[in-house]
C-alpha cells in the first residue's frame, strides 16, 4: 500500500543522513562528489534523485540505489496523482487501431 503523501527524499537525506552524522551540506556535498548547490537543491526538495545520485547516496549512506529511487518515484507519483484531474489525454483503444 502506498504511503500517504510520501516525503521528498531530500528531507530523508537531511533527517536520517546528515543530521545524525553532524554533516553540513558543504561537507556532505564534498563527500558525495557533487556541488553544494546540487545537494542543497536536493535536500530542499527542488531537485529529484537521479540514478547517479542514487548510487552516490547508496555508497555514502547505505541502502540500495533502488531504495533511493523508489523514494523519489513514490514522491513524484503522489504529486502527479494530486494533479490527475488536470491531466488530459486521448485514450487509445487497441481494438480500434487501423
Domains of the chain, first to last: 9-85 (1.10.260.40)
The tens place of each residue's pLDDT in the chain, 98 residues long, gives: 566 889 999 999 999 999 999 999 999 999 999 999 999 999 999 999 999 999 999 999 999 999 999 999 999 999 999 999 999 999 999 887 66
Per-residue pLDDT, 67: 98
pLDDT in tens, 13-25: 999 999 999 999 9
Closest CA to 62 of 34, 26, 24, 21: 21
User: Which are the contacts of 24, defined by CB distance < 8 A and separation ≥ 6?
Assistant: 18
- Could you tell me the pTM of the whole model? 0.86
d(CA 26, CA 39): 8
Amino acid at each position: 500500500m502506498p504511503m500517504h503523501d510520501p516525503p521528498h527524499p531530500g528531507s530523508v537525506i537531511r533527517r536520517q543522513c546528515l543530521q545524525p552524522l553532524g554533516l553540513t551540506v558543504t561537507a556532505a556535498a564534498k563527500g558525495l562528489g557533487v556541488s553544494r548547490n546540487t545537494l542543497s537543491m536536493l535536500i530542499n526538495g527542488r531537485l529529484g534523485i537521479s540514478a547517479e545520485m542514487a548510487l552516490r547516496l547508496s555508497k555514502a549512506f547505505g541502502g540500495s540505489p533502488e531504495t533511493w529511487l523508489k523514494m523519489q518515484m513514490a514522491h513524484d507519483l503522489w504529486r502527479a496523482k494530486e494533479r490527475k484531474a488536470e491531466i488530459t489525454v486521448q485514450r487509445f483503444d487497441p481494438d480500434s487501431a487501423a
